[in-house]
């Protein structure tokens, strides 16, 4: 059975939409419950910042770590590079993944976080203007230097992931061993653009699942697993792109399992992600202690094989 240690606490709005006191309280509660993995990015959250630049989330985490001496070594701290605006407030051009950018931003992230080593360093999005060989070398070099432990790709198409891993194997660099994409129990219609999801290859597909199954060394982290609260908050209906017969059938099955467990639909979704093959570690985007407690409880829900079959058997 899964546990809170399998969850990832997303910290996107820490210090902007979520004030520092609430951010500290969420971090405290998450760790007290057994959570150990924090996910942020150098660009969080530039669109909410008064300066138009990121770095606030990392700074808040750094202050929290400084106020909890000795805790750092118990945690897995993940951050990202690639999506910070080149000019604050001008969001149309982002930094990309050139080696000099990766090196510079890695140092800045470590400084804001107050850590010597980043446990997981993500390429936040594609940069086809930089040769993939250079990206692989930049990230692999950071591991070789000892300032990063593991590296991952977020919002990349599967073929680029495979090509990057092939380059790493050929040239002797550390391979990318994590993927970060969005997925949930219900999915939008194929070939539609979902508002707010501006990464063309950000969604898990059947091909992604097959690729992960064939490459068990790869770990999947799932962002926005609850579709911004749409499962349980009537005031936040699913985007119309999710309106199709498959969603209707799956929501019916989900409601049935939730009723049988005495849980919310969102809790069952989190438990389902953790019990699926391949496992998808949910990144929790919470803004209150109540939301966090609900998610922590979900990690300990026991989805029996029969319940998983009921959920997975719906097309």
**What was the pLDDT predicted at 172?**
98
Please count the other Cβ atoms lying within 10 Å of the Cβ belonging to residue 157.
Answer: 16
- Copy the structure tokens of residue 148: 């990063």
pLDDT at 2: 87
Q: In this structure, is residue 251 part of a structural domain?
A: no
The answer as to whether 256 is a domain residue is no
Q: Identify whether 308 is part of a domain.
A: no
Secondary structure E strands in the chain:
8-10, 37-39, 76-81, 85-87, 90-94, 118-123, 148-154, 178-182, 219-223, 280-284
pTM more than 0.85: yes
Q: Is 111 helix (H, G, I), strand (E, B) or coil?
A: helix
315 lies in some domain: no
- Give a yes or no: residue 243 inside a domain: no
Question: Is the torsion defined by CA of 72, 43, 133, 170 positive or negative?
Answer: positive
Alpha helix positions (H), 85-147: 99-113, 132-144
Instruction: For residue 286, give the CATH number of its domain.
Output: 3.20.20.100
Residue 13: Cβ within 10 Å count: 20
pLDDT for the residue 104: 98
Q: How far apart are CA 206 and CA 314, in angstroms?
A: 15
Could you tell me if residue 168 is inside a domain? yes
Residue spans of the chain under pLDDT 50: none
User: What does the pLDDT read at residue 247?
Assistant: 96
Q: What's the pLDDT score for residue 192?
A: 87
**Residue 10 covered by a domain:** yes
Does residue 249 sit within a domain? no
Number of folded domains that form the chain: 1
Domain that includes residue 115, residue range: 4-237+266-303
**Distance from chain centroid for Cα 56:** 18
> Is 219 in a helix, a strand, or coil?
strand
Q: What is the pLDDT of residue 91?
A: 87
Encoded tokens for 103: 């090196």
What pLDDT does residue 218 have? Answer: 98
HSE at residue 183, side-chain half, CA atoms within 13 A, is 26
């Amino acid at each position: 059975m899964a546990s809170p240690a399998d969850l990832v606490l997303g910290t996107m709005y820490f210090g902007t939409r979520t004030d520092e006191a609430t951010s500290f309280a969420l971090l405290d509660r998450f760790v007290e419950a057994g959570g150990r993995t924090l996910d942020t990015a150098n660009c969080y959250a530039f669109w909410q910042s008064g300066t138009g630049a990121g770095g606030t989330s990392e700074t808040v985490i750094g202050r929290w770590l400084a106020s909890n001496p000795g805790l750092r070594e118990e945690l897995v701290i993940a951050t990202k590079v690639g999506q910070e605006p080149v000019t604050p407030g001008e969001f149309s051009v982002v930094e990309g993944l050139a080696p000099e950018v990766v090196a510079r931003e890695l140092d800045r992230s470590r400084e804001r976080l107050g850590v010597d080593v980043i446990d997981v360093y993500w390429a936040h999005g594609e940069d086809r203007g930089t040769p993939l060989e250079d990206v692989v070398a930049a990230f692999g070099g950071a591991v070789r230097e000892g300032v990063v432990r593991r590296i991952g790709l977020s919002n990349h198409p599967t073929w680029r992931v495979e090509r990057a891993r092939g380059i790493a194997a050929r040239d002797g660099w550390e391979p990318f061993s994590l993927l970060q994409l969005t997925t949930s129990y219900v999915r939008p219609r194929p070939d539609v653009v979902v508002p707010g999801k501006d990464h063309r290859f950000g969604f898990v597909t059947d091909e992604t699942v097959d690729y992960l199954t064939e490459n068990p060394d790869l770990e999947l982290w799932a962002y926005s697993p609850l579709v911004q609260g749409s499962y349980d908050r009537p005031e936040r209906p699913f985007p119309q792109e999710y309106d199709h017969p498959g969603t209707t059938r799956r929501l019916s099955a989900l409601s049935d399992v939730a009723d049988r467990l005495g849980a919310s639909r969102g809790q069952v979704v989190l438990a389902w992600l953790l019990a699926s093959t391949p496992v998808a570690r949910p990144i929790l985007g919470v803004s209150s202690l109540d939301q966090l407690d609900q998610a922590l409880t979900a990690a300990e829900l026991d989805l029996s094989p029969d319940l998983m079959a009921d959920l997975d058997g719906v097309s």
